[in-house]
């Protein structure tokens, strides 16, 4: 009798209610992801426009490897670009991969973004030759790594399928982590990718053990 009563009172609702809740969650998540990524891209463009119209050269605030004063550029570099052509090349993949990365919650997305920025920036600061490194490509590669591996760490079938789709569509990004293109920071790409995988592992959803009722 007690076991039967326990099963009846277990929350969950009908299958129709569960489907409706799932749809509402997906729509809400997609809307939130669209808003936060639109704001991110908007900030990127606002900074570049300000850099264009103002006399001060914002590019000097990028990452300067091996220079202690250049460490602050780790936080600034993802929002700085060497002209509108550079920004346009990053905008579409940043918007698409950022949207997919943000689907599972804005809080996780913001923490993942911070981890990617720090890991990518530190990697550039330690490994890159002297100069100034800037651009959002570290974030792009980070979101790629995050989306591709998130489902594996969460053991979530939908995210696994999404990760496979992203890997197939954007597999050519992998070549960007290899040295060889003059003027392109493969270090930012490589460590951005590493940062995305670290973020997916660090922010994975840990399964709760089901309670055992006597």
3-state secondary structure string across the chain:
CHHHHHHHHCCCCCHHHHHHHHHHHHHHHHHHHHHHHHHHHHHHHHHHHHHHHCCCCHHHHCECCCCHHHHHHHHHHHHCCCCHHHHHHHHHHHHHHHHHHHCCCHHHHHHHHHHHHHHHHHHHHHHCCCCCECCCHHHHHHHHHHHHHHHHHHCCHHHHHHHHHHHHHCHHHHHHHCCCCCCCCHHHHHHHHHHHHHHHHHCCCCCCCCCCCC
> Residue 31 pLDDT more than 70?
yes
Tens of pLDDT, residue by residue over 96-147, are 999 999 988 899 999 999 999 999 999 999 999 899 999 999 999 999 999 9
Residue 101 is predicted with a pLDDT of: 94
Q: List the single range of 14-28, 120-134, 196-210 with lowest mean pLDDT.
A: 14-28
Residue 181 is predicted with a pLDDT of: 75
Tens of pLDDT, residue by residue over 55-78, are 988 989 999 999 998 899 999 999
Residue 5 is predicted with a pLDDT of: 40
| Four-way CATH pick for 2-202: 1.10.357.10, 3.40.50.720, 1.20.1540.10, 1.20.140.10 | 1.20.1540.10
Residue 29 is predicted with a pLDDT of: 81
Paired tokens of 1: 């009798």
Residue labelled with tokens 């920025």: 117
Tens of pLDDT, residue by residue over 156-185, are 787 788 888 888 888 777 787 778 777 788
Query: What are the structural domain ranges in the chain?
Result: 2-202
């Amino acid at each position: 009798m007690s076991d039967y009563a326990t099963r009846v009172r277990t929350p969950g609702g009908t299958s129709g209610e569960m489907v409706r809740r799932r749809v509402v969650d997906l729509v809400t998540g997609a809307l939130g992801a669209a808003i936060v990524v639109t704001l991110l891209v908007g900030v990127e463009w606002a900074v570049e426009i300000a850099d264009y119209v103002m006399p001060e050269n914002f590019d000097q605030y990028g990452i300067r490897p091996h220079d202690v004063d250049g460490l602050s550029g780790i936080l600034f570099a993802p929002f700085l670009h060497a002209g509108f052509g550079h920004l346009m090349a990053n905008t579409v993949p940043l918007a698409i991969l950022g949207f997919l990365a943000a689907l599972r919650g804005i809080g996780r997305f913001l923490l993942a973004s911070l981890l990617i920025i720090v890991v990518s920036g530190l990697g550039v600061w330690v490994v890159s030759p002297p100069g100034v490194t800037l651009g959002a490509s570290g974030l792009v590669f980070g979101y790629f790594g995050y989306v591709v591996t998130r489902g594996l760490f969460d053991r979530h079938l939908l995210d696994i399928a999404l990760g496979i789709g992203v890997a197939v569509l954007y597999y050519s990004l992998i070549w960007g982590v290899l040295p060889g293109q003059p003027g392109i920071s493969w270090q930012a790409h490589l460590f951005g990718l590493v940062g995305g995988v670290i973020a997916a592992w660090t922010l994975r959803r840990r399964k709760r053990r089901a309670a055992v009722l006597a």
